[in-house]
Amino acid sequence: MTIDPTQPDRPVLIVPFVWIGDFVRVHSVVRLLKAEAPERPVDMVSSTLCSPLADYMPGVRRPIISDQPRKRLGWAVQQDLATRLRETGYGQALIMSRKWKAALAPALAGIPIRTGFAGEARFGLLNDIRWGERKLPRMIDQMGALALPKGAKLPAEWPLPELKVAADELARWQELRGLTDERRPVVTLSPGAVGAGKAWPPAAYAQLAKALTADGASVWVLGGPAESETARLIAELAGPGARDLTGTDLRNAILALAAADVSVTNDSGLMHVSAALGTPTVAIFGPTSPWHWKPLNPVSAILEPPGDEDARLRAREIGNEAVSHRSTAGVAVDSVLAAVRAALAEKTKPR
């Protein structure tokens, strides 16, 4: 059940997951939809936090901002969202999350086709119910399948997410931040992560920053308020070559990553942002499976704790459970430093 592509006046609504990385990953679905029907508008429901990402996603008309409360329904918020959706006249909603409340506003808005996987007894909310989600090991396969006809074979390769930053906007941001005259190579550090064991230790980031500034690089530390103390520590230890660029606006991190020569990051949302921007990315993994959760876009290096090859192989079959005992603390600073130096050398190599 899909929208007739000859009726481009009936837009598609995507209701993605709320995390930054998943929001970036769903741009593959946007590109798939636009390839099938280039004139059909595509909108995305978004939190205030993630909404800046939509501004840099080719093919996304606009974000529909709605900050849903955690662990409760938030009936008034759902009604407000449904009212705004009803006014737009969507023809189909692709509901990525299996949560009951994710499907509520599209149903209240009367969107004719509401596509999603069965879950949480949503039979009255969805009318294009898909099955077999758990047989699809990667999230991109689960999300992409909803944009295809029922029973369609998944493509061997999905379109890659893209984030495009205009040169004039980047120049204005650099001028505002006093970074216009930066002549040293820029390495960004993104020390934030959600989940135990996923964050490389702050002391390790500080050692890396100190080594990079000694190499002649400029180090920018990115993240939200939760990373401000780590950023302060890194800047103090690394000296004047390091800058704390943490803040409350995700747009700041997007622009910093677009300007960077290399990005170092945990398995986090900013890892996906960096990769989708095309910035060479060194990603540090611990208790999560890179095969399942790495960006679709190419990255410069994926670093995991050494040893335990059997766990890495089993993770391809059973996911994070096989590697949940690992911590990013097992990744040596020297390994990350070598990967960053290699990425910088590759970027400056004559073509």
pLDDT at 8: 64
Residue pLDDT tens, the chain, 351 long = 454 544 667 899 999 998 999 999 999 999 999 999 999 999 999 999 999 999 999 999 999 999 988 888 899 999 999 999 999 999 999 999 888 999 999 999 999 999 999 987 888 899 999 999 888 989 999 999 999 999 899 999 999 999 999 999 999 999 999 998 888 999 999 999 988 889 999 999 999 999 999 999 999 999 999 999 999 999 998 888 999 999 999 999 999 999 999 999 999 999 999 999 999 999 999 999 999 999 999 999 999 999 878 888 898 888 899 999 999 999 999 999 999 999 999 987 665
Q: What is the largest CA-CA distance in the chain?
A: 61
Residue 128 confidence (pLDDT): 94
At residue 33, the pLDDT reads: 95
What SS3 state is found at 324? Answer: coil
Give the start-to-end residue ranges of the domains of the chain: 12-146, 167-348
Domains 12-146 and 167-348 share a fold: yes
Are 12 and 45 in contact by the 8 Å Cβ rule? The answer is: no
Residue 91's nearest CA partner among 140, 37, 26 is 37
Do residues 312 and 156 lie in contact, with contact meaning Cβ atoms separated by under 8 Å?
no
Residue pointed to by tokens 């704790």 = 305
What is the fold, at CATH topology level, of the domain defined by 12-146?
Rossmann fold (3.40.50)
> What's 167-348's CATH class?
alpha beta
Strands lying side by side in the sheet with 92-95: 62-65, 42-46, 12-15, 92-95, 113-117, 128-130
117 sits in which H/E element: strand 113-117
The predicted structure's pLDDT at residue 141: 94
In this prediction, residue 257 carries a pLDDT of: 98
What are the two backbone dihedrals, phi and then psi, of residue 302, each rounded to the nearest 5 degrees? -120, 120
Residue 94: beta bridge partners?
Answer: 14, 115
